[in-house]
Amino acid sequence: MTSELFSAEKYAASRRPLAEASPLPGSCYVSPEWYERELETIFRKEWLCVGRVDQVPNPGDFYTIPLLGQPLIVARDQNGKVNVLSAICRHRGAVVVEGEGRCRQFMCPYHNWTYALDGALINTPGNPPPMDGSKGFDRAQHGLKALPTDFWTGFIFVTFNPSPKPLMESLGTLPAFLANYRLENMQFTHRDVYEVECNWKVWLENAFENYHVPTIHRKHIDPAKPQNWQFEETDGVWEAMYSRRSIVAYTGLPTLTGLTEKEENGLYHIWLKPSLQIIITSSSMKYRQYLPEGPEKLRLIENWTFPGTTVELPQFSETVGAAYYHKYSEIIREDLRISPNVQRGMRSGVYTPGRYSLEEFVVHRIANYVLDRVLGPAQAPVRAARDPAQKARAAG
């Protein structure tokens, strides 16, 4: 079973150029072995976004986030540095803190070991002092583990890879591509967290094709004005699609200055592999964190940010709810219905993959990225075989 699951022949139809290719088989969305291999070859190798620095603006501010089954703490320490720590107590493994808030230190609820905001173990309180008889016990060796952490325009990234590539190298050409938007000026304002009964790829694939919009989101579109998504040529670290018209291109708040005509009059959906989606419009940036919690379970965090100058406007809070958050939550409820539906199909054991439409350009990229990692790179990379039809679309 396992050898068949990881045999290259099984995926030959997904390896073909888009116009000839089929979607991935259902097992890629339900198999625990496949999922474990994705964690090993993708998620434990790469930099993963855990939020933005302005979610912890002041010393002592913290929040917790589960990442690949590991409870993490994101905390700003007294020196202003943002640390990402394992929340697992170094005594007997209790989870030290949950939720979010502001504190001076973290105290484990089990035996009160007390940690500084940078993870250092500062006290093991008790009377009589409980650790006095423990030979050679060294507090300095028992701090909460800090993960390799790095930052880009306010985004916080961590990695489980003990020898990672520098973050900036891993971002490829994306920082230059987004430079005009000055993401460092964006301020976090709102978050929605969803627990979805589907594989992480089911949601990601849905997020990067417009084919389902006239059906699933028909309430929100004008059939007389079809969307016209174009796909960007990228370096392969990220993928992007662009449209001048979209159900998520909102107005009502000021647009950024310094954008190109294209940036000002449309929006991008960007996938920074493997687990960050950035939806950037001329007035806002939404970022979406994909946190897989099992082969058929996804925690999805939707975060809104706006330029600091917009957030300060007197009309900001009354405008943003109706025009941005509420409108979008209606759309996402529709995706929340279809994604577990698709997952049931994947789980059924009787799904035979169909064919992609050319709208599913990024979906095909997602499949081939996963296959490259899980099985090893294809003999003939799909990037070299861009379909002529896609070239026309990207140009058009």
Q: Which of 46, 61, 209, 335 binds Fe ion (CB under 5 A)?
A: 335
Cα–Cα distance between 85 and 145 in angstroms, integer?
6
Residue 198 contacts residue 342 (beta carbons within 8 Å):
yes
Choose the stretch contacting ligand FES; rule: CB under 6 A; options: 90-98, 193-201, 303-311, 331-339.
90-98
Task: State the residue number with the nearest CB to Fe ion.
Answer: 335
Q: Compare residues 108 and 300 and give the one whose CB is closer to ligand FES.
A: 108
Residue 60: CB minimum distance to ligand FES, A: 20
**Which partner from the list Fe ion, ligand FES, none does 113 bind, CB cut-off 5 to 8 Å by kind?**
ligand FES
Residue 124: CB minimum distance to ligand FES, A: 8
Number of residues that bind ligand FES (CB under 6 A): 9
Q: Which of 28, 72, 89, 280 binds ligand FES (CB under 6 A)?
A: 89
Matching residue, tokens 């392969």: 236
Choose the stretch contacting ligand FES; rule: CB under 6 A; options: 37-45, 88-96, 131-139, 239-247.
88-96
Residue 373: CB minimum distance to Fe ion, A: 25
Cα–Cα distance between 365 and 17 in angstroms, integer?
10
Choose the stretch contacting Fe ion; rule: CB under 5 A; options: 65-73, 172-180, 196-204, 331-339.
331-339
CA distances, 313 to each of 184, 254, 275, 304, 318 (Å): 19, 10, 32, 16, 10
Residue 62: CB minimum distance to ligand FES, A: 17
Residue 206: CB minimum distance to Fe ion, A: 6
Q: Compare residues 106 and 152 and give the one whose CB is closer to ligand FES.
A: 106
Cα–Cα distance between 180 and 172 in angstroms, integer?
16
Cα–Cα distance between 71 and 98 in angstroms, integer?
8
Q: Compare residues 92 and 262 and give the one whose CB is closer to ligand FES.
A: 92
Q: What are φ and ψ of residue 84, in 5° steps? A: -115, 120
> Computed from CA positions of residues 354, 359, 364, 366, in that sequence, does the dihedral angle turn out positive or negative?
negative
Choose the stretch contacting Fe ion; rule: CB under 5 A; options: 8-16, 31-39, 258-266, 335-343.
335-343
Residues 219-238: x/- map of binding to ligand FES (CB under 6 A)? --------------------
Is 106 exposed, middle or buried, given 0-12, 13-18 or 19+ CB atoms closer than 10 A? buried
Residue 40: CB minimum distance to Fe ion, A: 30
Matching residue, tokens 């001329």: 282
Q: Which of 16, 44, 91, 386 binds ligand FES (CB under 6 A)?
A: 91
Choose the stretch contacting ligand FES; rule: CB under 6 A; options: 10-18, 58-66, 75-83, 85-93.
85-93
Cα–Cα distance between 163 and 265 in angstroms, integer?
41
**Which partner from the list Fe ion, ligand FES, none does 335 bind, CB cut-off 5 to 8 Å by kind?**
Fe ion
Residue 113 contacts residue 90 (beta carbons within 8 Å):
yes
Our finding on whether 110 is near ligand FES (CB under 6 A) is yes
Distance separating the N- and C-terminal Cα atoms of the chain: 45
Choose the stretch contacting ligand FES; rule: CB under 6 A; options: 108-116, 254-262, 274-282, 326-334.
108-116
Q: Compare residues 112 and 315 and give the one whose CB is closer to ligand FES.
A: 112
By CB under 6 A, what part of segment 314-333 binds ligand FES? none
Q: Is 101 left (phi over 0), alpha (psi -120 to 50) or beta?
A: left
* Secondary structure element (H or E) that encloses residue 342, with its range: helix 327-347
Amino acid at residue number 379: Q
> Computed from CA positions of residues 162, 165, 170, 176, in that sequence, does the dihedral angle turn out positive or negative?
positive
Cα–Cα distance between 22 and 104 in angstroms, integer?
54
Overall residue count recorded for the chain in this entry: 396
Which residues of the chain form contacts with Fe ion (CB under 5 A)?
Answer: 335
Which residues of the chain form contacts with ligand FES (CB under 6 A)?
Answer: 89, 91-94, 108, 110-111, 113
